[in-house]
Structure 1
């Protein structure tokens, strides 16, 4: 059974098993760190608006009252999320203003942003836990942010060390 329930909109079934939690190894400086990834429903939903018909309504068991609307665009874009994390390696991610991180990819010509938190895991056999808080297209995202290599982030979090945002630099569009 999937972590998120499938949804049916206008007769089309949208599966959610691609957003089931998973782990993967991240190799940094000859050390192997096990990274756990979990996704929030904000990766495939958006704020509910008056134009959303009842079949777009999406409630998730983990947050009572978090009424969102299913987004076909966000769902389609989310199909790539697991593979994005598996191949980040030494790619650049960026600090947000709230001690979270983000990276960008291309989705149908738009900037697709993936926002996440990372911290030392408490689960046995896992070094770092990442929770993907949201992912969506945002064509005019900021041009400047503080970069860090994903591998450096993983190593620091696994060791329980805080990372400090460095000098802001022009964002590399990816």
Structure 2
């Protein structure tokens, strides 16, 4: 999905940074294991820059943004933060990930411009694209939270492990 620009009150909001892209994730050789390379195909949902309707709220015409499945409200804060997503995705190999309550994974904690930590939840799924096509990484939503999401006593899992297990067809279950 290539996202079209959004226009509001004379301003243009370019969404090219959320167009699909691919990158190679390299896991260096370690302890006798050879280097591993994975092609990651990335796609983003409109939930990365829009929000749902709150109870009793109607979507203002000037803020409506639609894809082929739904219409949501363009969210300026989500849009602003979405500009970080391509870099967050490219460096997932260095991050720990967590299971959410819906079968997805997420990463969080970003450093704001003022040096403070914020809880920017980036929810995603990872699936095999085919033997030569690599893996599909779908960013289903990304938004700021006031506190750490889904605080549970579960161990995080490194994105590298998710990639390896997905490539090998191994299930990844939350570890208590």
Paired residues, number: 162
TM-score of the two chains, using structure 1 as the length reference? 0.85
2:141 is the alignment partner of 1:134? yes
Secondary structure, counterpart of 2:133 in structure 1: coil
TM-score of the two chains, using structure 2 as the length reference? 0.84
Equivalent residues in 2 for 1:8-27, closer than 5 Å: 8-27=7-26
Shift of 1:113: 0.3
The equivalent residue for 2:108 is: 104
Equivalent residues in 2 for 1:1-174, closer than 5 Å: 3-28=2-27, 29=29, 30-49=35-54, 50=57, 53-61=60-68, 63=69, 66-106=70-110, 108=112, 109=116, 110-122=118-130, 125-140=132-147, 141-144=149-152, 145-167=154-176
Contact 1:37-1:131 within 8 A present in 2 as well: yes
Alpha-carbon RMSD: 1.8
Unmatched 5+ stretches in structure 1 = 168-174
Take 1:129 and 1:24, find their aligned partners in 2: how far apart are those partners? 11
Take 2:85 and 2:2, find their aligned partners in 1: how far apart are those partners? 15
Unmatched 5+ stretches in structure 2 = 30-34
Contact 2:40-2:136 within 8 A present in 1 as well: yes
